[in-house]
């Protein structure tokens, strides 16, 4: 921006007009998406926030500002301490899943991206392997989820395999409908979202930097820690934002893989919605949004994405 201003002042009026016209074109080019964003994102969001403060009785939403919905959301949260109220317990559980999924996808995503970026030389092979990583998305969510039962179920392949080789004597129940299976499904689905931005960052690392590190006597691990990882930070942060925000709002995966026995904030909102308790659901959504925005803010504090990009 500053550069632009400086240049405008040096150049002739004709150029400045062209510049302004160019900027007008840019606005037009951005307009369709901005409009889409406004109508399908900003407006619903504003409505959600508004509804969370409304009164709702006998099927009539009345714009009568009050905090009842928030009071209902945090019912008993203060007086019950130190034992957790439903809302706190649910957020804690959702946060725990988010952190577990984040850690697992980060390690896996980084590893795969590293392999693809530094060990696979030919672009066609890279592309082929990339496509392979999208395999989990080739079927619908529901089919994918149902398919876990014959694999991890009590009489599933894994249990039969373990018993056949004599590692276990009876079926392991914790393979399915447990925290383990929820995290497994998250990792299976979302590693790609972590991997792609990291790969993107790695692909842009100047290879001569790595050679320079080696020439300067750095070991493999030292190069990784002091050269590759710092340069991958933007990718890691972007991937983390993807994974954390998706997992925080998820209720389908937690529901199906947790056997509907594990609470998630998304599920709470869904149940409230389906019973027409719109203000409470909206209040919950606003709280969730606030927490997710805080997480993103904290992440962007770690790395200035705009500068790095």
Partner 1 sequence: MTETPFRSARPGRRDLLRATAGLALAGAATKLAAPAVHAQEPVTLRYLGTAVNQSAEIAAKAKQDLGITIEYIPVTTDDVIRRAVTQPNTFDLLDMEYFSVKRVLPSGNLQGIEARRIKLFDKITPVFTRGVTAGGKTLGEQGTAPKKVQFITGRGSKDLAPSPTEWMTLIPTTYNADTLGIRPDLIGRPIDSWAELLNPQFKGKASILNIPSIGIMDAAMVMEATGAYKYPDKGNMTRAEIDRTMAMLTEAKRAGQFRAFWSEFNESVNLMASGETVIQSMWSPAVTKVRSQGVQCIYQPLKEGYRAWATGFGMPRTLDGRKLDAAYEFINWFLSGWAGAFLNRQGYYSAVLETAQANMEPYEWAYWMEGKPAAQDIKAPDGSLLEKAGTVRDGGSYEDRMGRVACWNAVMDENTYLIRKWNEFIAS
Contacts with partner 1 by CB under 8 A lie at 58-59, 72, 75, 86, 89-90, 93, 146, 149-150, 153-156, 173, 176-177, 255-256, 259-263, 267-268, 271-277
Task: Decide whether 11 or 260 has the Cβ nearer to partner 1.
Answer: 260
Contact 23, 7 (CB under 8 A): no
Shortest Å distance, C-beta 275 to partner 1: 5
Shortest Å distance, C-beta 165 to partner 1: 21
Q: How far apart are CA 174 and CA 178, in angstroms?
A: 6
Task: Decide whether 200 or 277 has the Cβ nearer to partner 1.
Answer: 277
Task: Decide whether 230 or 259 has the Cβ nearer to partner 1.
Answer: 259
Q: Residue 54 — φ and ψ, nearest 5°?
A: -90, 170
Task: Decide whether 136 or 171 has the Cβ nearer to partner 1.
Answer: 171
The contacts found for 262-267 with CB under 8 angstroms, 24 or more apart, are: 262/93, 262/179, 262/182, 263/86, 263/89, 263/90, 263/93, 263/94, 264/90, 264/93, 264/94, 264/97, 265/90, 265/91, 265/94, 266/94
Shortest Å distance, C-beta 197 to partner 1: 33
Length of the chain: 309
Task: Decide whether 225 or 275 has the Cβ nearer to partner 1.
Answer: 275
Shortest Å distance, C-beta 161 to partner 1: 16
Task: Decide whether 111 or 150 has the Cβ nearer to partner 1.
Answer: 150
Shortest Å distance, C-beta 232 to partner 1: 37
Q: How far apart are CA 211 and CA 200, in angstroms?
A: 20
Shortest Å distance, C-beta 254 to partner 1: 10
Shortest Å distance, C-beta 122 to partner 1: 43
Task: Decide whether 59 or 221 has the Cβ nearer to partner 1.
Answer: 59
């Amino acid at each position: 921006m500053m550069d632009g201003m400086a240049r405008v002042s040096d150049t002739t009026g004709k150029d400045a007009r062209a510049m302004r016209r160019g900027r007008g074109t840019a606005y037009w080019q951005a307009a369709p998406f901005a409009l889409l964003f406004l109508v399908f994102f900003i407006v619903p969001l504003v409505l959600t926030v508004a509804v969370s403060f409304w009164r709702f009785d006998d099927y009539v939403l009345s714009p009568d500002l009050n905090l009842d919905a928030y009071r209902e959301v945090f019912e008993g949260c203060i007086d019950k301490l130190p034992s957790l109220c439903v809302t706190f317990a649910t957020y804690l559980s959702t946060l725990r899943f988010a952190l577990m999924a984040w850690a697992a996808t980060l390690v896996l995503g980084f590893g795969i991206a590293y392999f693809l970026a530094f060990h696979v030389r030919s672009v066609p092979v890279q592309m082929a392997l990339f496509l392979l990583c999208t395999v989990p998305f080739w079927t619908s969510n529901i089919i994918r989820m149902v398919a876990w039962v014959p694999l991890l179920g009590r009489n599933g392949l894994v249990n039969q395999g373990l018993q056949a080789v004599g590692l276990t004597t009876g079926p392991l129940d914790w393979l399915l409908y447990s925290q383990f299976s929820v995290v497994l499904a998250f990792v299976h689905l979302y590693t790609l979202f972590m991997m792609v931005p990291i790969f993107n960052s790695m692909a842009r690392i100047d290879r001569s930097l790595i050679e320079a590190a080696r020439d300067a006597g750095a070991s493999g691990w030292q190069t990784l820690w002091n050269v590759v990882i710092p340069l991958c930070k933007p990718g890691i942060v972007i991937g983390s934002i993807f994974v954390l925000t998706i997992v925080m709002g998820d209720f389908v995966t937690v529901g199906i893989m947790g056997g509907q026995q594990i609470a998630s904030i998304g599920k709470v909102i869904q149940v409230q919605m389906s019973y027409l308790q719109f203000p409470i659901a909206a209040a919950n959504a606003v709280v969730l949004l606030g927490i997710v925005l805080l997480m993103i803010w904290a992440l962007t504090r770690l790395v200035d994405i705009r500068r790095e990009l």
